[in-house]
């Protein structure tokens, strides 16, 4: 695991070293550079495979190609054997070197053979050509900036900002996306002129021009596997194989364990593969409806893991500024707090941790997926009736529970009159267009922030609702919310996070199943539940979904109240793009009324902290990094 950075343009060794320095948390074990002519590559390394070798940048036999690489290639041993049989000579035992020799054989088609999580830059010296690539599911991030025939790239956006020529102008369309969905989907970033390389894409930079192309997309086979028993056997084998691949490591590894099926499945399959001892890590909350500890203990005891727990105290006001620094961009998903804290806990014992991220998307695990199926029946009701029920639903109060059943019912009914795609987007949006316009009064974007998500809906090659939702979430919510915060919050503690459910082979296998097999009925995770029933404790199978969330409703009325009132006060907002009056209405409604707006308020607090860090305080941060570089 690493942080990578580089430039194609005028030579600037000091800037290149600063870009590596600001990524040091991603790779505290090693640092390396390659500079030749107009190209500069930099890497910070966290040693996972081949602890002695594997220094980056890596080169092929004749040093005609150079690579900086972030991630893991899980099939590198099979690829290496095949490449050695063709005469390639390896200098190390690291997985990254496989990419270089595969590129020699296949060119850009090498990407079709790589299985794992990765973001890399490969410099082809004879052709003066740079290839950037990101893994199919978007597990590892990669940012880039094009300017006047030059290119800069990095694992984290902050490294690009070190260039004094890089403008720090907020992209209002990206801000609208953030306030609507709580994350910024690729390829946009919060800064105008800086982009995220989308998942499953490559960028070729040659002769001062960039070409972006997709090398992978999820497809749904026209002849779907409908045999239930055969599907169960294939999926269980696919899960086992994925978990096995994700165990390749020369350092200790563990598992983030909640009370849910996804992480419990990972632990059960690890035990079945003979792994031991398994170290598991769980966070607990004092608020009972948010606690995962009791359920996690059941799994830990059933599989004899070495279990570690940590009770979360609501000291988030002191924690949040540091987390926002590591995020790079505003990201309003409050589960980032849990991910950061459990990463800190795990890093005391291990260097690699496995997570259940992706299980909900693959196995029909969100209540909104069930709601989408129900809505097809609900849409048969007269439109006038659905509109009337939607108006009445606005009076339904929220619950302080983590699953908030009345709030879900209200959202279902409010969106009832809308067409299918817009209805789903209403459920996953946190601000309606009218509320967004009020919040950004005078600064609203010209483009509807839902346009990108709607485009993915219409691009989906399948018509079944469960397929369409899988496709859209794999293109947006999974990579740009869950996987992005997973990467940033784990790497803040120099911990490598692995996600077996986001294995390309496994995703493609699930897409080959008939919808009636993958997502039958109205139960959450029916396929995974049936497959894992013989392997998991009954309590896990019976437990309702809680969600990976924190008690923000209580925190905003308690330990976070002072911070929120300060950051969202009229004086602090007056010079920014947020309308103080609209923010004040939202804040008072949450503190005084029956409705909960903690998600929206958390997103606003994060944005204000982000502005303080990356706009107001950036000059001081940059001076600090450059001074560290000058001191050596």
Catalytic residue list: 2
Q: In 64-203, which ranges are continuous DSSP H helix?
A: 76-85, 96-106, 157-161, 172-181
3-state SS, 537-558, equals: CHHHHHCCCCCCCCCHHHHHCC
The vertex-90 CA angle with 87 and 96, nearest 5°, equals: 120
112: buried, middle or exposed (CB in 10 Å: 19+, 13-18, 0-12)?
Answer: exposed
Cα separation, 467 vs 469, whole angstroms: 6
Distance CA 374, CA 365 (A): 15
Specify the DSSP class assigned to residue 502: G
- Give dist(CA 202, CA 217) in Å, integer: 12
Rounded Cα distance between 326 and 156, Å, is 9
Please identify which residue in the block is written with the tokens 């998991």. 536
* β-strand partners of 66: 59, 123
Report the distance separating Cα 133 and Cα 215, nearest Å. Answer: 9
Report the alpha-carbon distance of residue 76 to residue 96 in Å, rounded.
Answer: 8
Residue 459, SS3 per DSSP: helix
Strand partners, 143: 154, 196
């Amino acid at each position: 695991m690493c942080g990578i950075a580089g430039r194609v343009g005028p030579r600037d060794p000091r800037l290149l070293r600063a870009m590596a320095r600001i990524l040091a948390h991603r790779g505290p074990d090693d640092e390396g550079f390659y500079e030749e002519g107009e190209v500069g590559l930099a890497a910070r390394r966290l040693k996972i495979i081949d602890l002695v070798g594997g220094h980056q940048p890596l080169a092929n036999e004749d040093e005609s190609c150079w690579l900086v690489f972030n991630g893991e290639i899980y099939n590198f041993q099979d690829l290496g054997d095949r490449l050695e049989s063709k005469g390639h000579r390896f200098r190390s035992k690291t997985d990254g070197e496989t990419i270089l020799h595969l590129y020699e054989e296949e060119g850009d088609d090498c990407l079709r053979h790589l299985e794992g999580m990765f973001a890399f830059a490969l410099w082809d010296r004879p052709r003066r050509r740079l290839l950037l690539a990101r893994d199919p599911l978007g597990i590892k991030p990669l940012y880039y900036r094009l300017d006047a025939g030059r290119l800069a790239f990095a694992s984290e956006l902050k490294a690009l900002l070190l260039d004094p020529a890089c403008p720090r102008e907020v992209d209002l369309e990206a801000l609208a996306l953030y306030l609507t969905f709580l994350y910024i989907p690729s390829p946009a970033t919060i800064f105008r002129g800086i982009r995220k390389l989308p998942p499953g894409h490559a960028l070729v930079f040659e002769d001062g021009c960039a070409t972006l192309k997709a090398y992978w997309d999820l497809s749904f086979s026209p002849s779907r596997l409908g045999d239930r028993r055969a599907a169960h056997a294939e999926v269980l084998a696919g899960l086992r194989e994925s978990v096995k691949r994700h165990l390749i490591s020369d350092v200790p590894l563990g598992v983030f364990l909640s009370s849910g099926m996804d992480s419990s499945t990972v632990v059960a399959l690890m035990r079945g593969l003979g792994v031991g001892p398994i170290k598991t890590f769980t966070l607990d909350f004092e608020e009972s409806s948010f606690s995962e500890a009791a359920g996690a203990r059941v799994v830990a005891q059933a599989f004899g893991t070495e279990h570690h727990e940590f009770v979360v105290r609501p000291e988030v006001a002191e924690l949040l500024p540091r987390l926002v620094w590591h995020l790079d961009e505003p990201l309003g998903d409050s589960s980032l707090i849990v991910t950061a804290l459990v990463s800190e806990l795990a890093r005391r014992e291990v260097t690699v941790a496995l997570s259940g991220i992706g299980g909900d998307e693959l196995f029909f695990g969100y209540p909104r997926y069930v709601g989408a199926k129900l809505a097809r029946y609900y849409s048969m009701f007269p439109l006038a009736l659905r509109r009337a029920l939607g108006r009445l639903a606005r009076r339904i109060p929220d619950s302080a529970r983590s699953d908030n059943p009345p709030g879900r019912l209200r959202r279902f009914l409010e969106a009832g009159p809308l067409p299918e795609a817009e209805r789903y987007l209403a459920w996953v949006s946190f601000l309606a267009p009218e509320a967004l316009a009020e919040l950004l009064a005078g600064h609203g974007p010209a483009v509807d922030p839902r346009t990108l998500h709607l485009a993915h809906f219409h691009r989906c090659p399948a018509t079944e609702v469960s397929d369409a939702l899988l496709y859209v979430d794999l293109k947006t919510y999974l990579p740009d919310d869950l996987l992005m915060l997973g990467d940033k919050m784990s790497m803040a503690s120099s911990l490598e996070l692995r996600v077996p459910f986001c294995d390309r082979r496994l995703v493609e296998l699930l897409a080959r199943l008939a919808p009636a097999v993958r997502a039958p009925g109205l139960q959450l995770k029916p396929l995974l539940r049936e497959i894992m029933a013989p392997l998991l404790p009954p309590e896990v199978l019976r437990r309702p979904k809680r969600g990976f969330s924190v008690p923000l409703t209580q925190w905003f009325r308690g330990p976070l109240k002072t911070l929120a009132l300060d950051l969202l006060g009229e004086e602090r907002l007056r010079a920014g793009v947020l309308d103080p009056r609209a923010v004040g209405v939202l804040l008072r409604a949450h503190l005084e009324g029956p409705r909960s707006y903690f998600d929206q308020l958390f997103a606003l607090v994060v944005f204000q902290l982000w502005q303080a860090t990356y706009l107001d305080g950036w000059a001081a941060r940059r001076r600090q990094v450059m001074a560290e570089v000058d001191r050596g």
